[in-house]
Amino acid sequence: MVKEKVGQIVKVALVGCFGLFLAVSLIAGFEPGRRVGHTFIATGGDMMKLLPCAFIFIGLFDTWVKRETVERHFGEGSGIRGYLWGILLAGTTVGGLYVAFPLAYSLHKKGARLSVVFAYVGFSGSCRIPMTMFEASFMGITFTAVRLAVSVPLILLSSALMGRFLAQRNYVLSE
């Protein structure tokens, strides 16, 4: 109980110090602090535009997609198909990791295998279709193909190893 109170006080103090830093920077004309504040406000605004839609999407996913469907396609018996579904879902998910983490939690809660959830998060960070097309237009198709040829197997391997490691230790995701 005391530890939780101290943790809350520390969080409030950190937020207060950040706010104070921004206010002093604005008043004193400290340009790096002003840029930090501007970036913070711009990023916060972008998040506020995206997150309501993302949470509606995740709520609909939670409500409309049955647990049996997730277990069949992403669960223990899915085999390699679970990873293929993970890369397909990650490639088409809009919103980047802002959406990927809550959706990964929802997938795991509905019975997806932990290694497939890890793979989905990894693929969300590296294999989204719009990001890949943008990268190919600037860096070239060869670069993009090599990056995907290297990153996809590494994501598969690391997610399988992490999933197996945590499963052996009976890891349970806390609510």
- Does any domain span residue 141? yes
Q: Is residue 29 domain-shared with residue 84, that is, in the same domain?
A: no
pLDDT at 145: 95
**C-beta neighbour count of 44 within 10 angstroms:** 10
pLDDT, averaged per 10 consecutive residues of the chain (175 residues), comes to 84 93 92 93 88 86 90 89 93 83 91 93 91 92 95 96 91 72
pLDDT digits (tens, 9 = 90+) for 18-41: 999 999 999 999 999 999 999 999
Domain that holds residue 10: 1-50
| pTM for the whole structure | 0.77
Is residue 151 a contact partner of residue 126, using CB atoms and an 8 Å limit?
Answer: yes
**Total domain count, the chain:** 2
Give the span between the Cα atoms of 101 and 67, in whole angstroms: 18
What's at 9, amino acid-wise?
A: I
Q: What is the largest CA-CA distance in the chain?
A: 61
Q: Is residue 71 domain-shared with residue 29, that is, in the same domain?
A: no
- Does any domain span residue 28? yes
Q: Is residue 155 domain-shared with residue 69, that is, in the same domain?
A: yes
Q: Is residue 157 domain-shared with residue 89, that is, in the same domain?
A: yes
Give the span between the Cα atoms of 136 and 8, in whole angstroms: 45
Q: Is residue 70 domain-shared with residue 9, that is, in the same domain?
A: no
Helix or strand or coil: residue 96?
Answer: coil
Q: Is residue 141 domain-shared with residue 83, that is, in the same domain?
A: yes
- Does any domain span residue 60? no
pLDDT at 47: 83
- Does any domain span residue 56? no
Q: Is residue 138 domain-shared with residue 175, that is, in the same domain?
A: yes
Helix or strand or coil: residue 52?
Answer: helix
pLDDT at 96: 79
pLDDT at 175: 62
- Please count the CA atoms within 13 angstroms of the CA of 138 that sit on its side-chain side: 5
- Does any domain span residue 81? yes
| pLDDT more than 90, % of the chain | 61
- Does any domain span residue 55? no
CA distances from 32 to 24, 29, 38, 132 (A): 12, 9, 10, 32
Nearest of 62, 66, 42, 131 to residue 95 by alpha carbon: 131
Q: What are phi and psi of 40, to 5 degrees?
A: -60, -45
Q: Is residue 101 domain-shared with residue 166, that is, in the same domain?
A: yes
- Does any domain span residue 58? no
Q: Is residue 173 domain-shared with residue 102, that is, in the same domain?
A: yes
